Structure formats: structure tokens, C-alpha cells
């Protein structure tokens, strides 16, 4: 199947966008760990209070929620709730053979909206700013999904 080759600019566009989103979500887990180590808290499990090289002075307060850690967890949860739909919708959309420029605008537009959503969330911007970037990504997903559905129905 030639359309599923990285030599195909359309599929390569999807592969780049999907790879960036996967790396972003995976990076959020690492960012959570970094934040927990920096604040020496925000841990979730009782076994995290055992004395180790990384936690030489355990304290029961380390299990209390820490806003800096929880903010990263909320960003990660938002990614987990949204990015899988993009991975599926984007793949199916590419199979509908849309024009390359349109696909690039949509796929990279989604990636950009998620990165801007991350920055807005991380820096504590007002909800309307965050919601704007989330909405852009959501509209992209809806458009690609409807376009794929219509293409599959022969329209």
C-alpha cells in the first residue's frame, strides 16, 4: 500500500505530527517526575515514602498534593483525553487522501494548538486562553473525522 509509506508526503506529514504528539505526551510523564523531585513532594503512593537514594529524608507531607506537580498531572490527563483521538482521526483522515496542503494545515495546526495549550496551562493563563487552544484542536479533530466519514460513504 503506497499511501502508507514515509515517501508519501501526506503520510509523512501524519507521521511527523503523530510522532510529535506521542513525544509530547511521553515528555509530560518525565516532567511530572522532574517536578516531584524538585519539590520533593506530590508523591501518590505510600511506598514513595521509603528511604532511598532519591528520597533520603522521607516525610509524610510528601504525599500531600503539590500544586506544581498537580498542574503537570492535569496537563498530562488532558493530553491522555485528547491525543489518542488525534492519532486515530489523523490516520483515518490521511487514508481519505485529502489535499496535502490542507492536511498539513490541519495536522500541524492540531500539534500547534496542543503545544500552545500546554504553554497556557503551564503558565497559569486564564481559562479562556487555554480553552481557545483546546477548541482549535477539537475543531480540527471534528473536521477531519467528518471529512473521513463522508469520504468513506463515497461523498
Query: What span, in angstroms and rounded, lies between the C-alpha atoms of 100 and 91?
Result: 14
The pLDDT confidence band at residue 2, using thresholds 50, 70 and 90, is: low
* pTM > 0.75: yes
pLDDT tens by residue, 110-130 = 999 999 999 999 999 999 999
pLDDT tens by residue, 10-67 = 999 999 999 999 999 999 999 999 999 999 999 999 999 999 998 999 999 999 999 9
The pLDDT confidence band at residue 4, using thresholds 50, 70 and 90, is: confident
Query: What span, in angstroms and rounded, lies between the C-alpha atoms of 118 and 116?
Result: 5
Q: Residue 54 has what pLDDT? A: 87
pLDDT tens by residue, 131-153 = 999 999 999 999 999 999 999 99
Query: What span, in angstroms and rounded, lies between the C-alpha atoms of 155 and 152?
Result: 7
Burial 129-150 (b: 16+ CB within 10 A, else e): bbeebbebbbebbeebbebbee
Taking alpha carbons only, the member of 37, 118, 106 closest to residue 74 is 118
Average of per-residue pLDDT across 87-102: 97
Q: Give yes or no for residue 1 having a pLDDT over 90.
A: no
Q: Which residue has the cell 528520597?
A: 55
Grid cell locating 133 = 487552544
Q: Which residue has the cell 496542543?
A: 114
Burial of 80 (0-12, 13-18, 19+ CB in 10 A): exposed
Amino acid at each position: 500500500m503506497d499511501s502508507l509509506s514515509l515517501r508519501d508526503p501526506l503520510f509523512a506529514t501524519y507521521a511527523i505530527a503523530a510522532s510529535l504528539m506521542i513525544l509530547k505526551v511521553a515528555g509530560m510523564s518525565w516532567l511530572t517526575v522532574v517536578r516531584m523531585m524538585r519539590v520533593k513532594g506530590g508523591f501518590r503512593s505510600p511506598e514513595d515514602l521509603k528511604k532511598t537514594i532519591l528520597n533520603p529524608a522521607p516525610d509524610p507531607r510528601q504525599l500531600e498534593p503539590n500544586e506544581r506537580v498537580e498542574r503537570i498531572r492535569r496537563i498530562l490527563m488532558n493530553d491522555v483525553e485528547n491525543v489518542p483521538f488525534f492519532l486515530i482521526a489523523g490516520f483515518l483522515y490521511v487514508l481519505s487522501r485529502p489535499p496535502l496542503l490542507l492536511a498539513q494545515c490541519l495536522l500541524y495546526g492540531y500539534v500547534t494548538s496542543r503545544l500552545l495549550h500546554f504553554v497556557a496551562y503551564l503558565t497559569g493563563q486564564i481559562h479562556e486562553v487555554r480553552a481557545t487552544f483546546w477548541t482549535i484542536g477539537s475543531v480540527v479533530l471534528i473536521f477531519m473525522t467528518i471529512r473521513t466519514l463522508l469520504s468513506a460513504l463515497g461523498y
